[in-house]
Structures are given as C-alpha cells and as structure tokens.
Structure 1
Amino acid sequence: MPFARAIDADIHYEDSGGDGPVVLLAHEFFMDRTMFASQMAALAPEFRVVAWDARGHGRTTDQGLPFTYWTAARDALTILDHLGVRSAVVGGTAQGGFTALRTALLAPERVAALILISTEAHGPTPEQSSATHEFLDEFFDTHSRLNAVSRLASWLIGEEECHRAPWTERWLVRDREGIEVAAGCLLGRDSVLHRLVDIACPALVIHATESGIARERATQLARGINGSTYLEIAGARLAVTMTHSGPVNHAIQQFLRATTPPAQTP
C-alpha cells in the first residue's frame, strides 16, 4: 500500500497513475479517500488523480497528537513531494476543502488550481460546535451509536441505501481516539475568509444545496477567490461526489481542461 512519510505520520494515498496533470483530493470528516472513487474512474487517465486519507481516517496512521488543517496542508505537500510532483490541482470536500485552501495559502507555487466541494472558509459557529459535541457524545455511547450512525448517513449522504450501507458498516466499528483528535481539528479550525484575496490560482467552487453549509458562506468563498467558477447542485448533501457524481465529474473535467497546464515534475 502506498504511504508518504511525514514527521509523525504515514499518509496513505491511492494513485490512478498516468502522465496527466495531478489532481490531489482530500475527503470529508468521518469518510476516507474512497469517496472519490467515481472521480478517479471518470478523470483518469486524462488526469492523474491522487486521493488520500487524512489523519484519524482510513489507513493513515499517526501518533494521535493534536493537529490542525495547516498540519493537513503540510501532509498534502508531503504526498506531492513523495510523488515528485512540483505543482498540482488541490481539492477536497468539506474538511478536505479546508485543507486545500490552507495548502494554497501555505505553498501557492505548488497549487495550480483549487477544487472546493461542499466547503467554506469560515471557522465553526458556536451552534455548529455545540451540535458536533452532542453528536459525538451520542456516537461514542454504545447504546445510541446505531441511531447516531443512521443520522450521520442521512446528513452526509442522504437516503439512498446503495450509498449509505458501505459507510454505516464502517462507522459502527470506528475507534474513538482517532475521531476525537480529528474532531478537535475540525472544531478548532481558524477562519481563512480574510485571506482568500491572497489566492491567485483558478478555483472551482461546488456547493451542494443540502450540505448544511449556508449558501451565503459558499458564495462568500467563491467571491473571495478572484475569478472563481461557482456551481450549485440542487438536493445534494456533503457527499455530493458519490451521490451526484455525473454533474460533479463533468464540472471538474471541464474546469481542469480549461485551467491546467501539462503535468509538472522536478
């Protein structure tokens, strides 16, 4: 299995391979790299798609220490270094978008374009923090986990059982430690809204209307990045890459064809 070695973590990734421009994708909280299976199938081999597991998720292993999305941005750069890639399109869904934004701010010369899906530049509101804490209490209670998992599936995915079932099976056996540390990162994130003006690369912003992210926040993100492309997908939740893969793949493909240079390696 492919891993990129950070100072205190082994970052697991999946690589479609190929000679096309590299597209590095980071997943949503509570999910993993496999939420981009449709994008890997649709975009390769024209584009080389690399999807990776964040700390506390999937097959990535770390020391269980607190981290931030700036740490995650450095993990993204570690993967590019490991692959020998100088510049890539960097993107993600929800928390993956938080990471992508910080990657572009941390190393703008490494980010050719951004794909920002069901995400925002704000920090969490007090209401969001309170609701997340309440949910985690329910999730970690063995008597209420099944109900919590069902609600999580409805929130992230929707009601289509073909998409829900694989994830509910994984969530029912999730360990507490990794999720708690990752939740600390999620709830402790800083706002980068005021720094969007510093991002000069092209950006595609895809807003899922039922994601729980306010449309105002999504449009603020799009307006904040000069010349960005904005798309709404009606009726979609956070995991829009799975449930509405057709329009998502089409939008990404058109964006990449319009904005990406040939693949760059050292």
Structure 2
Amino acid sequence: MSKIEKTVEIPHLGGSTVGYTFAGPYDPALPTLVLINSYTTSADLYRPQFADPALGSAANLLALEPYGHGRTRSTYPHFTFWDSAIANLQALEALGIREAFVLGTSQGGWVAARMALLAPDVVKGIMALGTSMDFESPRSRDLGCWDGVEFNTPLVDALADPVGEDWVVPDELVDAVLDTALGGVSDEERDFWLATYRANYSGDAGRHRLRLSTVNLRDRDGLHGRLDEIRCPVLWLHGTADQVYSVANAQEEIGMFTRSPEARLEIIEGGQHFLSASHPEEVDSAAIDFLKRWA
C-alpha cells in the first residue's frame, strides 16, 4: 500500500491545519483505527503499522498529528492536549468518518482518552500504549515512573528565548528522546529521525512548537477523576522495559476505567516506551484482535 499524506482544515483554535496520513485508500467497509503519535515524533512513528498488510486489511489506518507535531498548525499560539483531542475529532468529521477506534502511544494514549471523554458516540474503543492517565505526580514517581518535571524543565527554560530562522532542534534532544523511549536505535533509524526532527522543528516557530509540546508534557492535567466516564472498551499495552511510565502505574490505572465494558492490561516482555516501534508485531496482533472483537 502507498501512504496518503495530506492535511485537512478545521475550525478549532482560530482555524487549524491537521496533518494526517492514511496507510492506503479509505475503505468505508472497514473500521478506522486512528493512530496518535508520541512526544516530538510525527505520523512516521507508525511506519511499522503502515507496512503491515494484515493490520492494513483489518482497518483503515489513519495517523493524526497533535498540535506541536508534524504538519499540524494552529492560528492561536497556545494549545493543550484537550485541544489536540478536539482537533482530532474535527478532523474525523471533516474526513467524513463518523466513528473510529483510537490507538495512542505515550501522550497519544491520554489524547485518545480525552477523545473518548469528549465524543463517546465517535470513539468506539481505545488502545493505550506505554502511557499514563495521571499528571506528572508524586504518586506516579512513587510507582516507578520518571520525573517528568525534572526531565522537561531544563528544555522548557532553554527554549524560552526567540531564535533565528537558521535554528534547528539540537541533536542531543533527539538522542535523549530515542534513548529514553526506545533504548537507543540503529544508525539508520537515528539518521531518519534526525532529519524528521530538523524538518519539523526549525526556525523560531519550530522552537515555539517544541517548547509548547514540552510544557504540555510537563504541566498537563490528570484524568483520574474522569476515567469512570469512559464507556468504550480499553486495551492498554505496556512494556516491561518502559523507562518513562511503569507497569505498576498501568496496573493501578487500568482499574480506574470502571464503566468500560472491558478494560484490560497486557504486559509486553521487553517492550520499550514507544511500544509500536519497539514491538510492532505484538502491537499489531493485539490491535487486530481488539478490532475483531469490538468493531
């Protein structure tokens, strides 16, 4: 299948452009699986999923890039994860897709949960990968999650001042994300992501998007008081090698989806934080089973 990479215009945040990628031509007879990428990545995070013919024949694969990421832009200069959830729902409406399943990696997982809260008639199920439903709380650190405040604050501070149009994202940031989220990557994969990051985060506008993406990650609100209002099935996949959010946190939070018809946690041995990239076979197989069961 050949990917279809385009943008769609929506009204949110003073008018926005949302970057979207279909794995192939849209088939109205199939369910749609929305893919939401992780912090500072793009739709390219899901290259393994786009390349999987079994998954592609089970669903329309549609990657939507959140605010601050990829090709998505807003007229208003600030945004939150709630805005990305609204933008995704408006993009689905603009594309004529009335219902969908939503898979999200890390920040994509909590955007997926926000989408389910905002539009329960649209979101028919969510798959959360290597995520958290909390804010960057003392509770989550006590359960073995990273210190997101300590990790992100130096970058927020470093990106505070305007830069020239010749600025590009530092290689050290890209390496830090890849090391933390994937335990390191091959030279070829590193080169791919360095080029992708430089294209996405250049000039002063790129600096500002990167800073806001980091502020959102550090300062987001938690969802614990809302998870009992999610009424769709939830499948949470979490890797044992996840350096950001712990299995113990996932085990506690999956129990908070008390009104879902089913909320299940699957532990992936050796799985990294960006689980769809580190263990695509396990993720794709679980997605196919989830769709067969609930579509």
2:151 to 131, 137, 145: 131
User: Does 1:12 pair with 2:19?
Assistant: yes
User: Does 1:165 pair with 2:185?
Assistant: no
Aligned to 2:66: 54
Is the partner of 1:184 in helix, strand or coil?
Answer: helix
Q: Is the 8 A contact 2:159 2:207 kept in 1?
A: no
Q: CA deviation at 1:222?
A: 1.7
TM-score by length of 2: 0.81
Q: Which moved more, 1:249-258 or 1:151-160?
A: 151-160
User: Does 1:68 pair with 2:80?
Assistant: yes
TM-score by length of 1: 0.89
Aligned to 2:266: 231
Aligned to 2:179: 154
Is the partner of 1:85 in helix, strand or coil?
Answer: coil
Q: Is the 8 A contact 1:30 1:57 kept in 2?
A: yes
Q: Structure 2: how far apart are the matches of 1:76 and 1:116?
A: 16
CA deviations 1:234-256 (Å, max 9, x no partner) are 22222221121111111111111
1:165-184 paired onto structure 2 within 5 Å: 165-172=191-198, 174=201, 175-184=206-215
Q: CA deviation at 1:139?
A: 7.8
Q: CA RMSD in A?
A: 2.3
Q: Structure 2: how far apart are the matches of 1:214 and 1:132?
A: 18
Q: Is the 8 A contact 2:182 2:272 kept in 1?
A: yes
Is the partner of 2:174 in helix, strand or coil?
Answer: helix
Q: CA deviation at 1:111?
A: 0.8
Higher relative CO (CA 8 A, sep ≥ 6), structure 1 or 2? Answer: 1
Q: Structure 1: how far apart are the matches of 2:216 and 2:176?
A: 22
Q: Hey, which bits of structure 1, 4+ residues long, moved more than 4 A?
A: 135-142
Q: Structure 1: how far apart are the matches of 2:130 and 2:255?
A: 15
Q: 1:151 to 1:183 in 2, by over 3 A?
A: closer
Q: Is the 8 A contact 2:128 2:234 kept in 1?
A: yes
Q: Which moved more, 1:26-35 or 1:156-165?
A: 156-165
Question: 1:258 corresponds to which letter in structure 2?
Answer: R
Q: CA deviation at 1:205?
A: 0.3
1:32 to 24, 42, 57: 42
Q: CA deviation at 1:100?
A: 0.5
Aligned to 2:223: 192
Q: Which moved more, 1:16-25 or 1:125-134?
A: 125-134
Aligned to 2:254: 222
Q: 1:136 to 1:167 in 2, by over 3 A?
A: farther
2:92 to 80, 92, 102: 80
Q: Structure 1 vs Structure 2: percent identity of aligned residues?
A: 24
Q: Structure 1: how far apart are the matches of 2:197 and 2:96?
A: 34
Q: 1:87 to 1:230 in 2, by over 3 A?
A: same
Q: Is the 8 A contact 2:99 2:122 kept in 1?
A: yes
Q: Is the 8 A contact 1:64 1:177 kept in 2?
A: no
Q: CA deviation at 1:210?
A: 2.5
Q: Structure 1: how far apart are the matches of 2:253 and 2:190?
A: 29
Q: Structure 2: how far apart are the matches of 1:58 and 1:147?
A: 19
Q: CA deviation at 1:136?
A: 4.8
Aligned to 1:209: 240
Q: CA deviation at 1:138?
A: 6.2
